[in-house]
Amino acid sequence: MIPRELIRKKRDGEPLSADEHRSFVAGVTDGSIPDYQAAAMLMAIYFRGMTDHELSAWADAMLHSGDVLDLSSVHVPKVDKHSTGGVGDKISLPLAPAVACCGVAVPMVSGRGLGHTGGTLDKLESIPGFRVDLPVERFREIVSTVGACLIGQTERIAPADRKLYALRDVTATVESIPLIASSIMSKKLAEGIDALVLDCKVGTGAFMKTVDAARDLARTMQAIGAAAGKKVTAVLSNMDQPIGRAVGNALEVEESIEVLRGGGPADTRELTVALGAEMLLAGGVVTALDEGAAAVRRVLDSGHALQKFREIVAAQGGDPRAVDEPKRFLPQAGACLEVRAQRAGWVGSIFSEAVGMAALVLGGGRRRKEDMIDPSVGITVLAHIGDRVEKGMPLALLHHRGDDSADDAARRILTAYRIVDEPLPAVPQLLLEVWR
């Protein structure tokens, strides 16, 4: 196998065989194919796409580049959730403990931030001591005893995707349906799950900007899941504005804790409940969606989900005091800057990608794959779509390090907001479609 020849074939639109896909993925895994050739293949796939046969072979090769976990010793349904990426999307943090309280185990292999979107692992690592690099044996043990565990890809779980994921982030090849679908499904199928719920984001802050593109992604992932004998539910949700108020790692952990205390922003709680209900339905522990939603609300309001989150944090080496006193034990930025409206009116739209990029330039994301993230920085979104604002009223609060990045981020926030003269006829719907 000559990598250059496979790159050329894909560049020229020729389909690769299953053996060629397996050989290339194996070379990425063992390091015999360098980053520059892997990046070239990613770009070729971005422009040329894949046939159904190619996608199946590529996803299978990535899945079997490492271990496929056996969780048969966990005697309850095992269901995971994955989001395709959004601005302020911290839903996994309250969702996993809430669902674990309802009789479903959640083995969750998560990712880091991609482009303008945050990553679950980066958020969790803002909790002092929290480990996302647990060995497979410890992951299995925590899933069995606690009911949920959230880790990253290890050397043994989809290692090819771990390498390609980082390259996609810095080579502008994130927004490719075959690459997104195979990346997600290779990790998820390696977890030993029975079912999967996908939150496919749609809108200005999502990689899929249109409903049609999100549907294509949902169908592609469902096809990969069906080939592996797994039930996959896809929820299409609105990403035309950030979820909740917090955008940034420690800030999003704090908002997640608010939801686990029975509060938090209405949209953050709504999406947690909706996805939790789908997970319980997919796992077969409820027979109706309303029943699942009621169960999730109960554990959020009663404090049981909060206690489960404490258990998860402690089991993964984190300081559980951060759950009880987040402002004391989570990283805090050294400075704040208000971004004020330049005219009066109503918030007609928010270009969410610009908000995500503002968080990135503050230090909350990566420009290069080796960049370190500052967990303390981020944005508190104060004005949402449909809100009335007056001139000089704060639209957002920037949490920053006292450097020049705040000025750049403030400019991005101002360009993200469109202020209109008349109130909107309706606030955008959060949940768009469900594919079961």
Q: Which helix (H) or strand (E) holds 298?
A: helix 289-302
Structure confidence at residue 236 (pLDDT): 97
Position 208 confidence tier, pLDDT thresholds 50, 70, 90 = confident
Q: What is the mean pLDDT of residues 167-177?
A: 88
Range of 22's domain? 3-49
- The CATH number of residue 12's host domain is 1.20.970.10
Q: What is the mean pLDDT of residues 301-318?
A: 98
Residues 6+ apart with CB under 8 A from 18: 53, 57, 60
**What is the rounded end-to-end Cα distance, in angstroms, of the chain?**
40
Structure confidence at residue 37 (pLDDT): 97
pTM, two decimal places: 0.89
Whether residue 171 is found in the same domain as residue 227:
yes
- The CATH number of residue 152's host domain is 3.40.1030.10
Whether residue 186 is found in the same domain as residue 322:
yes
Across all residues in the chain, what is the average pLDDT?
94
Whether residue 278 is found in the same domain as residue 349:
no
Query: Of residues 64, 82, 215, 412, which has the active-site annotation?
Result: 82
Query: Of residues 187, 215, 231, 412, which has the active-site annotation?
Result: 187
Check the CA dihedral 289-268-302-378 and report its sign: positive
Q: What is the mean pLDDT of residues 160-180?
A: 88
Q: What is the mean pLDDT of residues 87-100?
A: 97
CA distance 205 to 116: 8
Q: Is residue 192 part of a domain?
A: yes
Q: What is the mean pLDDT of residues 240-269?
A: 97
Whether residue 323 is found in the same domain as residue 336:
no
- Residue 340 C-alpha from the chain's centroid: 29
Work out the number of other CB atoms within 10 angstroms of the CB of residue 137.
8
Answer yes or no: 168 catalytic: yes
Q: Is residue 67 part of a domain?
A: no
* Inter-helix orientation angle 18-30/159-170, to 10°: 80
Structure confidence at residue 428 (pLDDT): 86
Tell me: pLDDT of 337 over 80: yes
Query: Of residues 168, 188, 366, 399, which has the active-site annotation?
Result: 168
Tell me: pLDDT of 286 over 90: yes
Q: What is the mean pLDDT of residues 336-358?
A: 97
Whether residue 231 is found in the same domain as residue 363:
no
Q: Is residue 369 part of a domain?
A: yes
Q: Is residue 196 part of a domain?
A: yes
Whether residue 349 is found in the same domain as residue 224:
no
Q: Is residue 180 part of a domain?
A: yes
Answer yes or no: 183 catalytic: yes
Position 115 confidence tier, pLDDT thresholds 50, 70, 90 = low
CB of 132 closer than 8 Å to CB of 142: no
Q: What is the mean pLDDT of residues 313-335?
A: 97
Structure confidence at residue 25 (pLDDT): 97
Q: Which of 252-256, 262-266, 368-372 has the lowest mean pLDDT?
A: 368-372
Structure confidence at residue 144 (pLDDT): 96
Position 112 confidence tier, pLDDT thresholds 50, 70, 90 = confident
Tell me: pLDDT of 370 over 80: no
Q: What is the mean pLDDT of residues 138-160?
A: 90
Query: Of residues 161, 194, 199, 240, which has the active-site annotation?
Result: 161
Tell me: pLDDT of 226 over 90: no
Taking only the tens place, the pLDDT of each residue in 59-80 is: 999 999 988 888 999 999 999 9
Whether residue 346 is found in the same domain as residue 387:
yes
Q: Is residue 296 part of a domain?
A: yes
Structure confidence at residue 229 (pLDDT): 87
Taking only the tens place, the pLDDT of each residue in 396-422 is: 999 999 988 999 999 999 999 999 999
Q: Is residue 74 part of a domain?
A: no
Whether residue 151 is found in the same domain as residue 289:
yes
Residues 6+ apart with CB under 8 A from 248: 118, 359, 362, 364, 375, 376, 377, 378, 379, 399
Structure confidence at residue 369 (pLDDT): 64
Structure tokens at 78: 């095992």
Give the chain's domain count. 3
Position 114 confidence tier, pLDDT thresholds 50, 70, 90 = low
- The CATH number of residue 392's host domain is 3.90.1170.30
Whether residue 111 is found in the same domain as residue 27:
no
Whether residue 268 is found in the same domain as residue 403:
no
Structure confidence at residue 49 (pLDDT): 95
Answer yes or no: 116 catalytic: no
Q: What is the mean pLDDT of residues 386-395?
A: 98
Whether residue 93 is found in the same domain as residue 237:
yes
Structure confidence at residue 113 (pLDDT): 74
Check the CA dihedral 367-369-372-377 and report its sign: positive
Answer yes or no: 187 catalytic: yes
Q: Is residue 223 part of a domain?
A: yes
- Spatial CA neighbour of 67 closest among 178, 161, 164, 181: 161
Whether residue 265 is found in the same domain as residue 153:
yes
